[in-house]
Amino acid sequence: MSRILVVGASGTVGSELSRLLAAAGHAVVKTTSRKPTSPDQVQVDLVTGAGLKAAFEGVDRAFFLAPPGHANQEALLAPLIDEAKARGLRKVVLMTAMGADADEAAPMRKAERRLEATGLPFNIIRPNWFMQNFNTFWIHGIQTAGQIFLPVGQAKGSFIDARDIAAVAAKLLTGDGLANRAFDLTGPRALDHAEVAAILTQATGKAIGFTDITPEAMLQGLLGAGLPKDYAEFLVLILGYFKAGYAERTTDAVQQITGQAPRSIEQYAQDYRSAWV
């Protein structure tokens, strides 16, 4: 069994990934930005690098992602990738986002290239927009107004359940058959936000709709919620890519890697029903 470092272990993907790895018998080292509360946690500040070297002690595989709230993801990921190279890890899985490879100058793409250049066995996973955004980031509008407020028009996205992302990451971290490849991860089909709202309505019995808003209104809402300006602008930018149709494509990567079809939005809505009622 391996000793695996999971960066972002308290997040939507990282928490499920940590659970899956531990259930399979692996030792999991979970990074936390706060004071550790359990023996399997290690405190790491990705902005300053504090605790980073200690987190890698005895580790032979690692999962990396850039935490939300930062627009320059490469600045946070580069020290992790460099330390992995210095330690000679047996496998690194990096999670970026679908479309990250479209612009060689983008911070996420620079991080991908940095990992590729290490010579380490690696995988890059690029998930599409998470289904779980509807019970986290977008939930305020649903709870207060019964609406999903986003500047995306009628564009469709092949939303993916974060549990499927974690399952993919677990397979890639603990196996070597698909090394040195990148995978775009999506759900089984593309839907627009009005269709998602209708599915949430059916699952909850609560009237939920979709309201298309302007990018300016979205930006002001994000800033009002306390997000840093550069990160808020980044989110509005990538929502613009969604509106342009770049999130509609589907792939069979989840099925290919895990042997299981990705969860449907209907299954997600049933499983997370309590978030909206």
CB-based contact 210:147 (threshold 8 Å): yes
* Domains identified in the chain, total number: 1
> What confidence tens digit (pLDDT) does each residue in 73-108 have?
999 999 999 999 999 999 999 999 999 999 999 999
Mean predicted confidence (pLDDT) in 15-28: 98
In a domain, 99, yes or no: yes
Closest residue by Cα to residue 206 from 271, 263, 275: 275
In a domain, 153, yes or no: no
Closest residue by Cα to residue 210 from 227, 191, 228, 223: 191
In a domain, 223, yes or no: no
3-state secondary structure of 151: coil
In a domain, 63, yes or no: yes
Q: What is the reported pLDDT for 81? A: 98
Evaluate if residue 226 carries a pLDDT over 90: yes
3-state secondary structure of 171: helix
Q: What is the CATH number of the domain that holds 22?
A: 3.40.50.720
pLDDT band at 70 (very low <50, low <70, confident <90, very high): confident
Cβ count near 201 (within 10 Å): 16
In a domain, 80, yes or no: yes
Report the helix count and the strand count for the chain, using DSSP H and E: 11, 11
CB-based contact 126:98 (threshold 8 Å): yes
Task: Give CA angle at 156 (8, 168), nearest 5°.
Answer: 35
Query: What's the chain's average pLDDT?
Result: 96
Evaluate if residue 218 carries a pLDDT over 90: yes
pLDDT band at 129 (very low <50, low <70, confident <90, very high): very high
In a domain, 116, yes or no: yes
Q: What is the reported pLDDT for 69? A: 82
Closest residue by Cα to residue 178 from 191, 169, 190: 169
Closest residue by Cα to residue 148 from 188, 195, 186, 189: 195
In a domain, 202, yes or no: no
Mean predicted confidence (pLDDT) in 246-253: 98
Interatomic CA distance for residues 65 and 97, integer angstroms:
10
Longest dimension (CA), the chain: 54
Q: 136: which 2 tokens? A: 């986290």
Q: What is the reported pLDDT for 102? A: 93
Tell me the CA end-to-end span of the chain in Å, nearest whole number: 42
Q: What is the reported pLDDT for 66? A: 87
pLDDT band at 41 (very low <50, low <70, confident <90, very high): very high
Interatomic CA distance for residues 5 and 87, integer angstroms:
12
| Helix, strand, coil shares, percent, the chain, to 5 | 45, 15, 40
If you ran DSSP here, which 8-state letter would residue 29 be given?
Answer: E
Residue-by-residue DSSP string for 66-99? PPTT-S-HHHHHHHHHHHHHHHT-SEEEEE--TT
In a domain, 78, yes or no: yes
Structural domain for 166, as ranges: 3-132+159-186+249-262
